[in-house]
């Protein structure tokens, strides 16, 4: 049996109707699956009401203690547990987790160089407790990860894309893994203005060419670099596409596939 | 091997130094153990900042939708995950759970009679997924329950004392269970003014007599009634005592023991 690791971002989480539609699709997927979710604007909105202003140093977001408490409430509490409840209602036996639960995602607090990012964790697939994830899957549970990891000092804020990638890599020692990034575009676009211009497949050679021509640029470059790293580290395929098309992404009928 | 189910209340959670001391003691307890925690004033404080006022009808606290979101953030996020992280740091392999996770605590939304309590759940030991709790214990995990249960409609606010009692009853089908209620008194007091007047043991007959004489009164009556129910339903012993004395409570050197 193979495993699908799916990441959804803040843009879906911020839209309750879209999130519900996505979770209905996710609940009906066959076989082993894991969901990793990001944050969303809701943490910023609640933070404002609590008088917690986003803290930036040199344009980089800092996780100070107040912000860590805020994201622990919102990511691990409000968002994670409501996703779990909605998946349960859809017949999917979800379990919500942070990296501290079962010490499943041990991380390193990011070392201070030019910037002190605060309570931010870097997670590496080799340290992930993939045995426990495997046990959960074989018990019929579907792990739902909030973007929080753990070090001996406590919880740490961690990028959800990275968690999805590292979990997929770690689990590829146990079974074949497909990694799916759901976002607001239909895939890697040849024409940024045309949402129907998604490339069906992309190889490392294609990527280099498209990057050189300036067709792939901006935030898509690190996304794809991470995807190729995942493939190098044993993940069978990475798919990038629209959250509305989950079933089509997995069957290969939508999105951009990286092998 | 036997199991200890321990409940801590809001008064400990509201005091970070007390909570840390308690968690250090809890982390070092041998054998199978489960922690159930209550809420505390922190939810009310955060609610006030968010403009969520406590909602009372006929003197009874109501869980409206805003309050449910608040307690989901604070109980399942902030409190639960910080307890888990602190236990992990103490060498205890904790996993934070609500009733929705693994559908472990299915509940019934309280029916509307005189009062509509809102999103409040009633949980019964027969419906608890004790098989999954048992699996977690045998995997070396220590479940930490936030006071939230689950019905098909979503999360529900539930009294932590009740969760502890019903979990203890459900688990007594798998192994001998000791149920420990930690609070701010040294046990059932003969003299309400003297914290050193705790009775060492109490039987159903003693309870009836002490109730009649007015020595046991107020909130202690339902606490003890629930303790005797737990014994009737298969729990080996129930201990009521001070959170500072955890090891002494379990060894029988402190607190009031109900058998």
A161-189 pLDDT per residue, tens: 999 999 999 999 999 999 999 998 999 99
State how far the Cα of A146 lies from the Cα of B255, in Å rounded to an integer: 39
Name the residue among B220, B168, B178, B219 with its Cα closest to residue B199.
B220
Tokens standing for residue A78: 């409000």
pLDDT for residue B218: 86
Residue B61 pairs in a beta bridge with B56
* Count of C-beta atoms within a 10 Å radius of residue A92: 21
Q: Tell me what the mean pLDDT of segment A205-233 comes to.
A: 93
Using an 8 Å CB-CB cutoff, list chain A residues near B53.
none
Specify the 3-state DSSP secondary structure of B230. Answer: helix
Test mutation, B45, B70, B99, B101, chain A, max A CBs within 10 A: B101
State how far the Cα of B171 lies from the Cα of B41, in Å rounded to an integer: 30
Specify the 3-state DSSP secondary structure of A157. Answer: strand
Q: Does A135 sit within 8 Å of B85, measured CB to CB?
A: no
Q: Could you tell me whether strands A107-109 and A121-123 are parallel, antiparallel, or unpaired per DSSP bridges?
A: antiparallel
Distances (CA, A) of B20 to A153, B35, B58, B89, B176: 13, 14, 37, 11, 28
Q: Does B86 sit within 8 Å of A101, measured CB to CB?
A: no
Tokens standing for residue A138: 């074989």
Chain B: residue whose CA lies nearest to A45: B50
* Share above pLDDT 70 across residues of chain A, in percent, rounded to a whole number: 100
pLDDT in tens, A66-108: 999 999 999 999 999 999 999 999 999 999 999 999 999 999 9
Q: Does A98 sit within 8 Å of B96, measured CB to CB?
A: yes
pLDDT in tens, A107-134: 999 999 888 999 999 999 999 999 999 9
pLDDT in tens, A23-56: 999 999 999 999 999 998 999 999 999 999 888 8
Name the residue among B250, B201, B258, B188 with its Cα closest to residue B229.
B258
Average per-residue pLDDT in chain B? 95
Cα of A85 to nearest chain B Cα, Å:
5
pLDDT for residue A1: 86
Confidence of residue A234 (pLDDT cuts 50, 70, 90): very high
* Count of C-beta atoms within a 10 Å radius of residue A112: 9
Q: Does B72 sit within 8 Å of A77, measured CB to CB?
A: yes
Q: Does A102 sit within 8 Å of B93, measured CB to CB?
A: yes
Using an 8 Å CB-CB cutoff, list chain B residues near A19.
none
pLDDT for residue B138: 98
- In the predicted model, is pLDDT for residue A64 greater than 90? yes
Using an 8 Å CB-CB cutoff, list chain A residues near B97.
95
State how far the Cα of B143 lies from the Cα of A204, in Å rounded to an integer: 45
Q: Which of A98, A141, A152 sits opposite B81 (nearest CB)?
A: A98
Residue with tokens 């910023």: A44
Name the residue among A24, A28, A38, A40 with its Cα closest to residue A4.
A28
Distances (CA, A) of A67 to A10, A46, A47: 17, 11, 8
How is chain A split among helix, strand and coil, in percent rounded to 5?
40, 25, 35
> Left if phi > 0, otherwise alpha if psi is -120 to 50, otherwise beta: which for B91?
left
Confidence of residue A192 (pLDDT cuts 50, 70, 90): confident
Cα of A136 to nearest chain B Cα, Å:
9
Tokens standing for residue A24: 């209905």
Tokens standing for residue A42: 């809701």
Name residues of chain B where pLDDT drops below 70: none
Distances (CA, A) of A239 to A153, A172, A207, B35: 35, 16, 14, 41
Task: Answer whether B155's CB lies under 8 Å from B148's CB.
Answer: yes
Using an 8 Å CB-CB cutoff, list chain A residues near B98.
81, 84, 96
Test mutation, B85, B105, B143, chain A, max A CBs within 10 A: B85
The contact set of B with A (CB < 8 A) is 46, 49-51, 69, 72-78, 80-82, 84-86, 88-89, 93-98, 100-103, 132, 135, 139, 141, 148, 150, 152-155
Task: Answer whether A19's CB lies under 8 Å from A12's CB.
Answer: yes
Q: Could you tell me whether strands B201-202 and B177-183 are parallel, antiparallel, or unpaired per DSSP bridges?
A: unpaired
What is the C-alpha end-to-end distance of chain B, expressed in Å? 19
pTM of the model as a whole: 0.97
Residue B94 pairs in a beta bridge with B142
**Burial (Cβ within 10 Å: 0-12, 13-18, ≥19) of residue B65:** exposed
Q: Does A89 sit within 8 Å of B69, measured CB to CB?
A: no
User: Going by C-beta distance under 8 Å and a sequence separation of 6 or more, which residues neighbour residue B103?
Assistant: A88, A93, B129, B150
How is chain B split among helix, strand and coil, in percent rounded to 5?
40, 25, 35
Tokens standing for residue A164: 């999805």
Q: Which H/E stretch holds residue B130?
A: helix B130-138
What is the C-alpha end-to-end distance of chain A, expressed in Å? 19
Using an 8 Å CB-CB cutoff, list chain A residues near B94.
100-102
Q: Does A72 sit within 8 Å of B95, measured CB to CB?
A: no
Q: Does B88 sit within 8 Å of A95, measured CB to CB?
A: no
Q: Which of B49, B85, B95 sits opposite A50 (nearest CB)?
A: B49
Cα of B76 to nearest chain A Cα, Å:
5
Using an 8 Å CB-CB cutoff, list chain B residues near A155.
81-82, 85
Tokens standing for residue B34: 């489960």
Buried b (16+ CB within 10 A) or exposed e, A246-257: bebbbeeebbbb
Q: Where are the alpha helices (DSSP H) in chain A?
A: 10-13, 16-27, 41-49, 65-71, 80-89, 130-138, 160-171, 204-212, 220-232, 246-251
Please provide the DSSP assignment of B61-101 as one string.
Answer: EEB-HHHHHHHIIIIIIIIHHHHHHHHHHTT--EEEE-TTG
């Amino acid at each position: 049996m193979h495993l699908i690791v799916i990441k959804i971002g803040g843009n879906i989480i911020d839209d309750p109707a879209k999130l519900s539609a996505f979770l209905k699709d996710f609940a009906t997927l066959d076989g082993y699956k894991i969901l990793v979710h990001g944050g969303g604007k809701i943490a910023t909105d609640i933070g404002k009401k609590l008088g917690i202003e986003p803290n930036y140093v040199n344009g980089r977001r800092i996780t100070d203690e107040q912000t860590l408490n805020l994201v622990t409430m919102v990511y691990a509490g409000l968002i994670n547990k409501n996703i779990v409840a909605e998946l349960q209602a859809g017949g999917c036996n979800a379990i919500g987790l942070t990296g501290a639960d079962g010490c499943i995602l041990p991380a390193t607090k990011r070392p201070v160089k030019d910037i002190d990012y605060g309570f931010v964790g870097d997670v590496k697939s080799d340290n992930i407790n993939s045995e426990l994830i495997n046990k959960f899957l074989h018990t019929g549970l579907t792990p739902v990860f909030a973007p929080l990891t753990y070090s001996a000092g406590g919880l740490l804020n961690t990028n959800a894309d990275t968690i999805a990638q590292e979990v997929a890599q770690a689990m590829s020692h146990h079974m074949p893994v497909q990694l799916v990034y759901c976002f607001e575009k239909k895939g890697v676009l040849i024409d940024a203005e045309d949402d129907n211009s998604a490339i069906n497949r992309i190889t490392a050679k294609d990527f280099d060419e498209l990057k050189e021509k300036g067709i792939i640029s901006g935030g898509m470059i690190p996304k794809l670099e991470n995807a190729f790293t995942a493939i190098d580290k044993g993940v069978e395929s990475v798919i990038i596409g629209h959250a509305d098309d989950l079933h089509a992404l997995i069957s290969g009928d939508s999105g951009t596939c990286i092998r």
